[in-house]
Amino acid sequence: MGKIRTLIVDDEPLARRGLRAHLAGAADVEVVAECGDGREAVRLIRELEPDLVFLDVQMPELDGFGVLREAAPARLPSVIFVTAYDQYALRAFEVHALDYLLKPFDAERFAEALARARAQIEREGLSEISLRLQSLIDGLRANQKYAERVVVKTAGRIFFLGVEEIDWVEAADNYVRVHAGRDSHLLRETMNSLEKRLDPALFLRVHRSAIVNVRRIKELHTLFRGEYEIILQDGTRLSTGRGYRDRLQELFGRAD
């Protein structure tokens, strides 16, 4: 068997450097490329056909599962998921005998995952691995559920924020700013992708640049042309966009 051609995918440059450092001592591994977003990962998987991918699950725009969905039906590589994900996803990996590294991980756990990947590639070949990954994707799609928490990465640490703690979310260029009590957190994610992960019974898009937790709405004030001013429990004032007022009326009934 030749060298294991490896692709590193993580949206954090520091995490990518860490993975490269862990792989530096593996003489049978060749890192052929690295990237920081899902769209580029799909392109590289199709073009380079790597044997192994270290794949971050939590990425903006297109997450790790989305990468695999879009890369298929091309030959899928062996994958080691690098994740700070919830227990549901971890159980899914285990059911399909797929390995993962739970952030933060140490050198011993990394070496164990790499050894398993070597054995898997030698024993089964990539066609069998592709079938297992497709089964994982199908299972996650069939059991899709809304997020119970979001992953916040800041100042070299990772922590979880329960969605029930979120008051509202605002767009911030290519990021979103999540407001929770007196704190706010910048996430590298778009409004559209975050909106899809939040339960629409609890979170409402009221403007192209604002999502609110409906349980935090204190008052609605009618404005011109059927639009509303929303006042949250903490005093935050937001205005509905024209394309979003109907959703508010459906949820609360007409406030005129």
Q: What is the pLDDT of residue 110?
A: 95
Q: Which residues pair with 101 in a beta bridge?
A: 82
Superfamily holding 149-252:
LytTr DNA-binding domain (2.40.50.1020)
Q: What is the pLDDT of residue 34?
A: 97
| 127, 184 contact by CB (below 8 A) | no
**3-state SS, residue 167:** coil
Place of tokens 């996803």: 89
Cα 172 from Cα 65, distance rounded (Å): 25
Cis, peptide link before residue 73, omega less than 30° from 0:
yes
Domain ranges of the chain: 4-142, 149-252
Q: What is the pLDDT of residue 166?
A: 96
Topology at the third CATH level for domain 4-142: Rossmann fold (3.40.50)
The pLDDT tens digits along the chain (256 residues) read 579 999 999 988 999 999 999 999 899 999 999 999 888 999 999 999 999 999 998 887 678 888 888 887 666 788 898 887 656 566 667 666 578 888 888 999 999 999 988 988 887 666 667 677 777 777 665 555 678 888 888 777 888 899 999 999 999 988 899 999 999 999 988 888 888 888 887 898 988 899 999 999 998 888 877 688 899 999 999 988 777 777 776 666 644 4
Do 4-142 and 149-252 fold alike per CATH? no
DSSP 90-135: HHHHHHTT-EEEESS--HHHHHHHHHHHHHHHHHHHHHHHHHHHHH
Q: What is the pLDDT of residue 256?
A: 45
Q: What is the pLDDT of residue 254?
A: 47
Distances (CA, A) of 243 to 29, 65, 210, 211: 52, 30, 12, 13
